[in-house]
Every structure is written in C-alpha cells, then in structure tokens.
Amino acid sequence: MPDLARFLPLSNRPKADEAGVTSDRRRPLAAVVAEAARLLDGASVPRVDAFVREARLTDLGTVGDAAGLRAATAAIAEGRKRSTKALARAVRALLLLADEVGETPRIDGTTLGIVSLYGATAAPLERRAVIQGHALRATDAEWEFGRGPALEGTALDIARFVLAVSDVPPRPAAPRPAGDPSS
C-alpha cells in the first residue's frame, strides 16, 4: 500500500521552491506584447491595431503605435490578472505578426511551454488528433508533457502547430540508444 502514494498526483515529488508557480500570466503577456512592439517598430498604425485585435487586448484602449504598445506593457504587468488563454491568444497574434514581417519572435521557452500545453487541450479536433497518445517534447527548452511515444520539435514549432499558425506537426522522436540515461 505505501507504494501507491507515488502514483497519486503531486505526492512524493521532490521538494522545491514553488513561490513562482502561479496561474497569473501578466508578466509573460507583457513580455509578448513588448516583443510585438519590437517587431512593430516603424510599422503603420493599422498593423499595430491588427495585432491588438488579434491578441484580443482591446481593454488596453487605443495604443496608436509601437511606442504606445510598449508603454502598455507596464499596464499589463501591473494590472489585473491575465489567464493562460489570454497569453495563448497573444502568442498566436505575435506568431502571425512575426510571419507577416518575416522575423523570428523572441519568446521565452517556458511561455511557449505554457501555451503549448494550453493549445494541446484547446486546439481544434484535427490538431488534437495528431498529438493524441503522444508526449510533446521541446528540443530546445526544458519541457515535455503528455504520455506515449514522444513527438519532438522546437518549442516555437510546437506552439505554432497547436495554436494553428503552422500545419507542420512535431515529428516522432529519434530512438535513443540503449543505456541512455535520458530515456
């Protein structure tokens, strides 16, 4: 019977500082908006407005230009709590914007993990069907979730797929050599 406890969620995990664990996504959302402002420097007002609409950040009011968007990051970081869903919408808008301007966005790997996990459960049925029964593993970040054979890709590529920005799914992981301690 004592062995049963290790199969229960959150039981018998190694103790660690969990002070930073929160469902409030204000800070990552502010970072995503700041990255959008960087990509939008010198862009026209309609393009800035399009990002704000796509990210559903209409509560910011009229931001006008990239400088206004940059100024709004402080309001986001210090304002009301933001959900993972709001973060996922903003990351999706940023990915679309980055594709439009032809740049690779700079997004924290943990943020991409958060939105990938969210996207894996909220994605359209055909995308969930592709990843169902698999673990998703980022090759360039320290996160993995799910059960089953691993599908791998960069954190950015996995997020692009589950957020319906790209139609390229993560690929099956290469078999690991016998005795590999990471398997």
Q: What confidence tens digit (pLDDT) does each residue in 78-104 have?
A: 999 999 999 999 999 999 999 999 999
Is the pLDDT score of 182 beyond 90?
A: no
Q: Say which residue, 8 or 20, is predicted with more confidence.
A: 20
Dist CA 137 CA 14 (whole Å): 22
pLDDT at 154 over 90: yes
DSSP state of 181: T
Is the predicted pLDDT of residue 6 greater than 70, yes or no?
no
Q: Residue 62: is it exposed, middle or buried by C-beta count within 10 angstroms (0-12/13-18/19+)?
A: exposed
Q: For residues 5 and 79, what is the distance between their CA atoms, to the nearest angstrom?
A: 40
CA atoms within 13 A on the CB side of 38: 13
Q: Which residue has the higher pLDDT, 21 or 153?
A: 153
The predicted pLDDT at position 165 comes to 96
Q: What is the pLDDT of residue 80?
A: 92
Indicate the pLDDT class of residue 61, thresholds 50, 70 and 90. Answer: confident
Average pLDDT in the 145-150 region? 94
SS (HEC) of 127-139:
HHHHHCCCEEEEC
Domain segments of the chain as ranges: 26-101, 109-168
Q: What is the reported pLDDT for 178?
A: 66
How many of the other CB atoms lie within 10 Å of CB of 50? 17
- Stretch 162-174: mean pLDDT, rounded? 93
CA dihedral for 50, 51, 56, 61, sign (positive or negative) = negative
pLDDT at 144: 95
> 124 is written with which tokens?
């359209």
